Each structure stands twice: as structure tokens, then as C-alpha cells.
Amino acid sequence: AATAPRIPPTRLALHHFDTSYSLRLGALWPSVRAGLLCEQKYGALLNNFAAADHVPQELELLNATDFVSEAQQWQEGVAAGEAARGCQEGSGEGRTVMQAEMMTQAEMSPPLCTSISSKIKCYTFPRGDITRFRPARPDALGLLDYYLMDAASLLPVLALNVQPDDFVLDLCAAPGGKTLALLQTGFCGHLAANDVSVSRTKRLYQILHSYVPKEVRDTVNVTSYDGRDWDQLKGGTFHKVLVDVPCTTDRHSAMEEDNNIFHKRRTKERQVLPMLQLQLLMAGILATKPGGEVVYSTCSLSPLQNECVVE
């Protein structure tokens, strides 16, 4: 054992993914695997608090596009196409009923909220283009013009569908990208951002200081409680709760040796992740008002950390 070659945690992670995800994803796994191992591709979340009206034009000249508005346009196009087909296929009273049903379905369950989509803008380069965005620049007041993040990390915020004056809780907030995105909606009547790690909470403070004016920053309640105990502190008080839980963070696990959860010393920590995730989700549910909404998200493909926790 003392002379056996050391197996890097990244190799252990990839072996685990090959074993489990290949069974789940089948023929899709090779392309997903390649995506995990490719250079990370960032999106540029525009900072609505900065005086940076020139930035969208600058990014568009580089062939970057706002994927949120593109998704909105695609959604509207699909809805219009379905409505047109409904009008052609139906007639008289039946057609009127069909159109009414389509409109009701569209109003009840929009994939992206129109009001949020009009405020949040996140630019990405086309598929296959791994051009790097320039570093963010400060405006006259020192606020940076955009925040670089994995564009997929914006999806839980869009799914949360924040409405004007909602009380919102980001239960596992650090390092702060999703908290910043929630503020970009302009709808948070009150925002609580919590993370159990004090060091990660410092990173959250840094992001707020770099991107958010003081008058808005002062309205954010940043705490470092154990999220599993949140319901004992402020149960049933929020309209919307984001539970973006600690997980195996698959890309990091497959690519980075430092702080890798597949390291031998962290085996027990990795094994108890689904239970921790379940406890955090339960706390998030209990922190929500009756009729409120909870979004649970991870950075992992693992069913044990996703579907099984929700079930």
C-alpha cells in the first residue's frame, strides 16, 4: 500500500462518472463527458446597477448574444406557431375553446418569466466558440459592468420566477453569482443570502461590494447560519427560496485536484452529501410561505443528488 501509485482524485471522479453516468445517459454520455473535460465557457451577466449602456453593443460586435432574450423569442415563436395551428385545425366554438386553453396554459406555466427576462441579460458566444470575455471594467462609481459565470447557473434564478416585492432566500448563497442575479431582477422586496462557510461568505460580500450600490447592498441580509437550521430561525416567511446545494460539482471534480471532493480524505463527506442536500431542501421548504415556491439545484448529473433527493 505504501508503494502503490497515488491515484489523483480527478481520475477517481472520472472513473465514477464513466461507471454511473454512462448507464444513465447511454449514447449521450460521450458528448457530455467531452463537455465536462473541455475548457469552461462563461457567460457575461450584465450588471444593471452599473452605468454601462455601451456594453451590449460591444459584446454583440464580438458575436456574443443574450441567451435569455433568445430563449424568450424562441418561446414566443413556438407559442405563436401552436396558436396558428390551433386556429387552422379548429373552427367555430371549438376553435375558440382551443385558443383559450392554449392561452391559459401559456399564462400558467411560462418557461421563462417575461418580466424577469427583460431585466436579466447574459451574453454567451456561439456554440463551438470559446472566445474569452475581457475582464470586467468599473464605471465612474467603481461598479463592474458584468459578472462572468457559467451561464447554466442563471437557470435556477430564472426558474425561481421572482415577482415584485417577493421576499427571497438564497439558502446556500456563496460565492454569490446567483445572489447577484437575483438582485438584477429588481424585484426582491427583501433578499436574505446565507452560507454556512464564513470564508465563502466573505467572497459574497466582495461580489456585492463590486457590483451593487451601497443603498441596495444594505438591504441584503447576509448571514452564515447552518442552512439546515434555517426553519428554526425564520420559518415560513419567504415567497421564493433558492436551495443551490453543495454537491460533487462534477466539472471541478473531473478537472481540478485542489479541494476535490473525490480526494481520499473526503470520502465520508461525499457519501453523506445526499442526506445533507435533503436536509437543506427540507429547511428551504419549511422557510417558505404557504403557496410559495422552492427551486432545488445542483452542479451535478448524479440522480442520487437530484431526482432522489427531490423524491
Q: Read off the C-alpha cell for 199.
A: 470564508
pLDDT at 40: 86
**pLDDT score for 39:** 86
User: CB atoms < 10 A from the CB of 234, how many?
Assistant: 17
Binding-site annotation, residues for S-adenosyl-L-methionine: 172-178, 195, 226, 244
Which residues on neighbouring strands pair with residue 241, listed in sequence order? 169, 294
Q: What is the pLDDT of residue 3?
A: 54
**CB-based burial, 70-82: b 16+ in 10 Å, e otherwise:** eebeebeeeeeee
pLDDT digits (tens, 9 = 90+) for 52-111: 899 999 999 999 999 999 988 887 777 677 767 765 655 554 443 434 333 344 444 445
- The 10s digit of each residue's pLDDT in 277-302 is 999 999 999 999 999 999 999 999 99
| Cβ-contact 222, 253 below 8 angstroms | no
Residue matched to cell numbers 435569455: 68
Q: Which domains does the chain have, with CATH numbers?
A: 40-78+118-309 (3.40.50.150)
Show binding-site residues.
Answer: 172-178, 195, 226, 244
65-66 and 166-170: which strand pairing?
unpaired
Residue numbers annotated as active site = 299
